[in-house]
Amino acid sequence: MVRVSRSIRDLAYRALQAKEKLTRESGKEPTIEQIAKEIGVEKEEIVFSFDAIQDPISLQEPVYNDGTENMYVMDQISDKKNTDERWAENLTIAQAMKKLNEREKIIITKRFFDGRTQMEVAEEIGISQAQVSRLEKEAINRIKKIYK
C-alpha cells in the first residue's frame, strides 16, 4: 500500500473540480496547462497529483480475453533493460569477471560499469594512465580468449 499525502490528494481533487468547471464553461476537456492556471499551480504538480490518486492495479489483472486465452497487464509491459538476452549477458560478464585478478576487476568495473575515464581510474588507484590502458587491454583480451 502506498500512502499519498493529504496535500497531494487535496490538490488532485481541486484540479478535478477545476477540470469539471472548465469543461462546463468551454464544452471541451481542458488541457493540464489550463487546469494549472485555473488553480494557480505548476502543471507538473497537477500531473503528479493525478498520478498519485490513481488506484494501483495488479500485473496479473486481465485486460483482454478472446474466449480461450487471457492477456494480462504484465503482457503489455515491455522491459528493454531486463530481457532474457540481457540476463544471459550479465551472467556471462559476471563469470568473466571472476577470471580476472583484483586490479583488473577494479579497472574494468570503474571503466565500463562506473563510466570513468582511464585518467580518472589511474588517479583513483595510483598508477599511470598508460598502465590502466595496458591492464584494461590485457583484461579484455583474457575475457575474449575465455569466450571464443
pLDDT band at 78 (very low <50, low <70, confident <90, very high): low
| Pair 45, 100 in one domain | no
CATH classification at residue 110: 1.10.10.10
| Pair 72, 10 in one domain | yes
66 in any annotated domain: yes
Task: Say which residue the cell 579484455 belongs to.
Answer: 140
The DSSP 8-state label assigned to residue 29 in this structure reads P
User: Of 76, 108, 124, which residue constitutes the final position of a domain?
Assistant: 76
- pLDDT tens digits, 97-124: 888 999 999 999 999 888 999 999 999 9
- pLDDT tens digits, 4-48: 889 999 999 999 999 999 999 999 999 999 999 999 999 999 999
The total of structural domains in the chain comes to 2
Range of the domain at 138: 84-146
23 in any annotated domain: yes
The crossing angle, in degrees rounded to 10, of helices 32-39 and 6-26 is: 110
